[in-house]
Amino acid sequence: MPVSPQLVLPPAGSAIWRRDFLFGAATAAYQIEGATEVDGRLPSIWDSFGAVPGNIANGDTGAVACDHYHRYADDVALLAGLGFSAYRFSIAWPRVIDENGRLNPKGVAFYQRLLDKLDERGIAPYATLCHWDLPQHLQDRGGWLNRDTSLRFADYADQISRALAGRVRGWMTLNEPWVSAYVGHAEGRHAPGLRSPRYAVEAMHHLLLGHGLAVPALRANDKAPVGLVANVNGVTAASDSAEDQLAARRAHANNNLWVLDALFKGQYPEELRQLWPDAIAPVRDGDMATISVPLDFVGINYYFRAVVASDGGHGYVVQQTPGVERTQMGWEVHPDSLRNLLVEFHQRYPEMPPVYITENGMASDDRVQDGRVHDEQRIRYLGRHFAAIDQAMQQGVDVRGYFVWSLLDNFEWAYGYDKRFGIVHVDYTTQQRTPKDSALALKSFFQQRAERA
């Protein structure tokens, strides 16, 4: 049997060897739970979006996914067996709140059972309140284009944090509002499938307003730290030309600063006005103060770098540079960008709280052979990103933990089930879980870490 590569790890003095540096795995409700019509769960925008032919590869949907709703106990045992000390999951808003805005006890009971299992195994739970699965009945009233959705989100945060008070180690309001706003409302590749930057700018404001309104509600009900999870990516100009440099600054503002400037400076980047002169955020008095409420931590999701050039107008285009390492998604592997972004954010935002890397990982076309999955590229990817995080910490960035994306292969949104991000392989016919070599390499690292403590 071939021997798998070991994780190449930062030296013994690195903070990632310390037991208080948290290592977890991450998932999201719609990507793994299935059971979309069980125990009073209402449809989400992803159920509706997936029902439209052509929206999702192979016509896949999240109806069954990894059947985690029924297999959560085994999945928690798997997580514990691999030696993780934390788990980031999301709560499905349409599962726990009914159409009248009241708690659905059966939906809440699922998360109570999950939390019981995590507690039995000593795994710290980190709960995200909205990982893109907005209830469809709210979309029918305008979704994130309607300011009222921000209030509905805060109300949901209030109710669920009362119900689960004392049970989680951290609350994360939104996952990747940039993707909800931009990919869902400007590019149309995600639910709800709208296609105008004007919609994206409006949706983003209401997403962030919902976040800002939810934070005090969470704090009033529970002592657990509160944060938001933002996705970021490296941006490099394709050339030294003034046009490409300007394009890169605008792409950086769009991809990375839109959310973080709002959270930590209380304003939207000026470059967005240059990119989309007609798109105006519906800001009312006091909104930016609400949005920039101080946080206990910020979650950063990082996967790749984009090389961008001017589109000849006031926008930019992403170029496919040849000769670089890419993943199954076509995303460039570029750990240095993670380090550079973390250091830049640390310098740009004096108010930035401690950071958790809340997602990092890669998709590969993994297959089970003789009971093993030899995902060498992922092992190298993880080790190189650990090194980048270590370098950022050496430059003063306060990183407290890392969650690998993802525990399981799962429903990768518009790509369906073809793209495999898990450190555990899922056979969707049998629901058999097979830890990949990367999971075994992480397990061995956790064991070494425990022995050194």
Q: Minimum distance between the CB of residue 406 and ligand IFM, rounded to whole angstroms?
A: 7
* Site for ligand IFM contains 405 (CB under 6 A): yes
Span 223-252, contacts to ligand IFM by CB under 6 A: 231
Smallest gap from Cβ 326 to ligand IFM, in A, equals 14
Q: Are 449 and 83 contacting, i.e. CB atoms less than 8 angstroms apart?
A: no
Burial 405-442 (b: 16+ CB within 10 A, else e): bbbbbbbbbbbbbebbbbbbbbeeeebebbbbbbbbbb
Q: Please answer whether residues 214 and 173 qualify as being in contact, where contact means their C-beta atoms are separated by less than 8 angstroms.
A: yes
Looking at the Cβ atoms of 47 and 176, the one nearer to ligand IFM is 176
Give the separation between CA 95 and CA 101, rounded to whole angstroms. 11
Instruction: Please identify which residue in 28, 65, 79, 260 interacts with ligand IFM, judged by CB under 6 A.
Output: 28
Q: Give 230 or 440: the residue with its C-beta nearer to ligand IFM.
A: 230
Least Cβ distance, residue 31 to ligand IFM (angstroms): 6
Q: Among 412, 423, 426, 439, which residue interacts with ligand IFM (rule: CB under 6 A)?
A: 412
Cα within 13 Å of Cα(283), Cβ side: 16
Pick from 328, 339, 444, 332: nearest CA to 385:
339
Task: Tell me the backbone φ, ψ of residue 106, rounded to 5 degrees.
Answer: -70, -40
* Binding residues for ligand IFM restricted to 122-181, rule: CB under 6 A: 176
- Measured from the CB of residue 68, what is the shortest distance to ligand IFM in angstroms? 14
User: Residue 96 or 404: which CB sits closer to ligand IFM?
Assistant: 404
CB 442 within 8 A of CB 82: yes
Nearest to 263 by CA among 329, 193, 172, 373: 172
Positive or negative, the Cα torsion across 274, 276, 278, 284?
A: negative
Grouping H, G, I as helix, E, B as strand and the rest as coil, residue 439 is helix
Window 285-304: residues binding ligand IFM (CB under 6 A): 301
Residues in contact with ligand IFM, shown as a per-residue x/- string from 421 to 440 under the rule CB under 6 A: x-------------------
Least distance (Å) between residue 35 CB and ligand IFM? 18
- The residue of the chain with the least Cβ separation from ligand IFM equals 28
Residue 400: Cβ-neighbour burial (10 angstroms; 0-12, 13-18, 19+): middle
13 CB contacts (<8 Å, ≥6 apart)? none
- Other CB atoms within a 10 A radius of the CB of residue 331 amount to 16
Quote the least distance from Cβ 179 to ligand IFM, whole Å: 7
- Given the complex with ligand IFM, which of 28 and 257 has the nearer CB atom? 28
Residue from the set 359, 366, 390, 437 that interacts with ligand IFM by CB under 6 A? 359
Shortest Cβ 405–ligand IFM spacing (Å): 6
Active site residues: 176, 359
Size of the site for ligand IFM (CB under 6 A): 9
Burial 117-136 (b: 16+ CB within 10 A, else e): bbeebebbbbbbbbbbbbbb
What does the binding site for ligand IFM look like in residue numbers (CB under 6 A)? 28, 31, 176, 231, 301, 359, 405, 412, 421
